Amino acid sequence: MKLHKAETSKTGKIYRETHKEKEIKRSKEYRDTHKDKLMKRSEEYCESHKEETARRGKKYRETHKEEITKRVKLWALNNPEKVRNKCQRRRSKKLLLSNTLTVSQWLDIKVEFNNKCCYCSKELPLEQEHFLAMTKNGEYTTNNIVPCCRSCNASKGNKDFFIWYPKQKYYSEARETKILKYLNYNKDNIQQLTFI
């Protein structure tokens, strides 16, 4: 067996070079069909080689700083909703507030309000507005986030919706009803949360 090892290795190398596309396709198919198995093996390896993995990761980050920075910036530019979500969740976590809102839930909220500001109904770029401000223990969940334009968000700030909104020139009783219904507020303006 040892006698033929070098020859077999050379033959294999020649085959892989002449059938590159076929080998790449075969390798991709294998990874796709054995995803869970490969992931488990990778996790087990990292767990049993923690120090080595950490050392290798640190070395890679040190020698590829610029490349990593460019990649992260590009990702952030292409994923503004995910970046916003990550920042909001971090802020909520620091304040020990619930922070379960996902990007897909945010997209659903915008659709619920026809991709318009829930307060003035303008079709402007929308921001995630905390109905109850974080400074007043407002969570980062579907029960507390509504879509609004930058102007309305800045105007409302951390003010109480029930005092602030009726004073606005664009106030609409129909929009107020829709907002309160969406957030499960009853006729006494008390939120009725359902716990699962």
Whether the full predicted model's pTM is greater than 0.85, yes or no, is no
Bridge partner residues of 126 (DSSP): 149
> SS3 for 16?
helix
Domain of 124 in residue numbering reads as 80-182
Q: Is residue 73 in some structural domain?
A: no
Q: Is residue 148 in some structural domain?
A: yes
Count of domains for the chain: 1
Q: Is residue 138 in some structural domain?
A: yes
| 35-48 helix and 20-33 helix, angle to the nearest 10 degrees | 80
How many other CB atoms are found less than 10 A from the CB of residue 95? 13
Q: DSSP secondary-structure letter at 159?
A: -
Q: Are 175 and 118 in contact (CB under 8 A)?
A: yes
Bridge partner residues of 148 (DSSP): 127
> Per residue in 93-103, pLDDT tens?
888 888 899 99
> Per residue in 41-99, pLDDT tens?
988 988 899 899 899 989 999 999 999 999 999 998 998 888 888 888 888 888 888 88
Q: Is residue 85 in some structural domain?
A: yes
Q: DSSP secondary-structure letter at 12?
A: H
Q: 97: domain CATH number?
A: 1.10.30
Q: Is residue 91 in some structural domain?
A: yes
- Give the C-alpha separation, 103 to 150, whole Å: 19
